């Protein structure tokens, strides 16, 4: 099995892809919180965003990453 090390992308022939825009539910939480996931308990800080995917899966995203990668749309 190949192992890729953090910060050292392998020399491969890459192509460009754009992730499909899939609407999801989200809410900014203003206190520390925890989420039970298949991988275990995920801890998040006040100001992070709770995301609920199309299949009910949940995860947290740091505030700065959310603001850089998501656009909030009006329902």
What is the mean predicted confidence (pLDDT) over 2-7? Answer: 88
The pTM of this model reads: 0.73
Domain limits of the chain?
25-69
DSSP 8-state assignment for residue 5: -
Alpha-carbon span 13 to 38, nearest angstrom:
33
20-59 pLDDT per residue, tens: 888 899 999 999 999 998 889 999 999 999 999 888 999 9
Least Cα distance to 61 among 17, 29, 20 occurs for 29
Q: Are 43 and 36 in contact (CB under 8 A)?
A: no
What is the model's pLDDT at position 15?
A: 92
Instruction: Round the average pLDDT of the chain to a whole number and report it.
Output: 92
């Amino acid at each position: 099995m190949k192992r890729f090390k953090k910060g050292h992308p392998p020399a491969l022939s890459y192509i460009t892809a754009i992730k499909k825009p899939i609407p999801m539910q989200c809410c900014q939480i203003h206190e520390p919180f925890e989420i039970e996931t298949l991988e275990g308990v995920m801890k998040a800080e006040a100001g992070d965003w709770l995301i609920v995917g199309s299949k009910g899966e949940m995860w947290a995203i740091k505030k700065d990453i959310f603001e850089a990668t998501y656009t909030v749309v009006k329902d």
